Amino acid sequence: MTDGLDRLDSCALSDACDTLGIDPPTISGLGNLTGRRRIAGRAVTVLLGPSNGEPSSRHLCTAAIEAAGPGDVIVVAHQGRLDCAGWGGNLARAAQARGAQGTIVDGAVRDVDEAADIAYPVFAKGATPRTARRRAREQAWNVPIEVGGVIVNPGDLVVADATGIIVVPAKQAEQVIATALDIVAKETAMATDIAAGVPVSIVMGTNYERLDHGSPPHG
């Protein structure tokens, strides 16, 4: 189901969704705080919520990390909170050791320099030194969550890059990936035409506008 995903960016997947008549489930406003590395994989989800004042028996996100493996992306619903961190340095180290591709947090994170030093990608709304202790706690993991207005289910495919984040529902993944790969092939041919001197008005005016209708690229 994930074959070819590593060759696709958020734009190609968004265009593929448009081609298939699917409203692209894109998330904006969360940036890569640790570098420009793109991440792609299956979602392992975590739902955070406000603290109830009681000590937690398990540190937030640890169950998801221990369940994650190569090809997984940990996605944390932190309700956009910037007053405390929903992810930190030791969590990044543990996730990296499990082979996770990276972490996406709808809210603030901490220990950004530490995650950058070990080259572990963290996409988030912002950063803060403030701990989640007594401020937030995990409510559930591997459940449907909402991130930036988009529902993310466990096992959905997630791609995050410098442009944005897109979530591909698992049941539509095969079709979306195949369509996106076709779009990338056409855009690559268009780039070749531009490099060869074909006027951009021709390349973009005809081929690009018909890109989602199965028309062959110029040249």
Whether 205 has a pLDDT exceeding 80, the answer reads no
% of the chain exceeding 90 in pLDDT: 84
Cα–Cα separations (whole angstroms), residue 97 to 87, 92, 122, 140: 16, 9, 15, 22
Per-residue model confidence (pLDDT) at position 208: 62
Whether 3 has a pLDDT exceeding 90, the answer reads no
Per-residue model confidence (pLDDT) at position 212: 60
Q: How confident is the model at residue 58 (pLDDT cuts 50, 70, 90)?
A: confident
Q: Are 60 and 132 in contact (CB under 8 A)?
A: yes
Provide the CB-side half-sphere exposure for 125 (13 A, CA).
Answer: 19
Let me know how long the chain is.
219
Dihedral over alpha carbons 11, 74, 47, 64 (to 10 degrees)? 160
Mean pLDDT of 152-174: 97
pLDDT digits over 109-155, tens only?
999 999 999 999 999 999 999 999 999 999 999 999 999 999 999 99
